[in-house]
Structure 1
Amino acid sequence: MALKRRTKISAAFSMSSMTDIVFLLLIFFMITSTMVHPNAIKLLTPKKATKKVVVEKYLNVRVTSSGRFYVEGKRVGDEAIESGLVAAFNRNDKTIVKLRTDKNASTGNVARILDIAETNGIKVILDIR
Structure 2
Amino acid sequence: MALKRRTKISAAFSMSSMTDIVFLLLIFFMITSTMVHPNAIKLLIPKKATKKVVVEQYLNVRVTASGRYYVEGKRFGTNNVETGLVGAFNQSDRTIVKLRTDKNASTGDVARVLDIAESNGIKVILDIR
Query: What SS does structure 2 have at the residue aligned with 1:89?
Result: helix
Name the counterpart of 2:77: 77
Q: 1:84 to 1:92 in 2, by over 3 A?
A: closer
Does residue 110 (structure 1) correspond to residue 110 (structure 2)? The answer is yes
CA distance in 1, matches of 2:123, 2:91: 11
Task: Provide the rounded CA distance (Å) in 2 between the counterparts of 1:103 and 1:112.
Answer: 16
Cα 1:89/1:106, change in 2 over 3 Å = same
Displacement of 1:58: 1.5
Structure 2 distance, partners of 1:126, 1:66, is 18
Partner of 2:61: 61
User: In the TM superposition, what are the counterparts of 1:11-26 in structure 2 within 5 Å?
Assistant: none
CA contact (8 A) 2:59 2:94 kept: no
The answer for unaligned runs of 5 or more in structure 2 is 1-28
**TM-score with structure 1 setting the length:** 0.61
**TM-aligned CA deviation for residue 43 of structure 1:** 2.5
Q: How many residues matched?
A: 125
Question: C-alpha separation between the residues in 2 aligned to 1:39 and 1:104?
Answer: 31
- Normalising by structure 2, report the TM-score: 0.61
Q: SS of 2:96's equivalent?
A: strand
Query: Matched residues, percent identical?
Result: 76
User: Which consecutive residues of structure 1, in runs of 5 or more, have no partner in the other structure?
Assistant: 1-28
Q: CA RMSD in A?
A: 4.3
How big is the shift at 1:59?
0.8
In 1, Cα distance between equivalents of 2:89 and 2:115 = 15
Q: Which residue of 1 aligns with 2:9?
A: none
2-side partners of 1:111 and 1:128: how far apart? Answer: 13
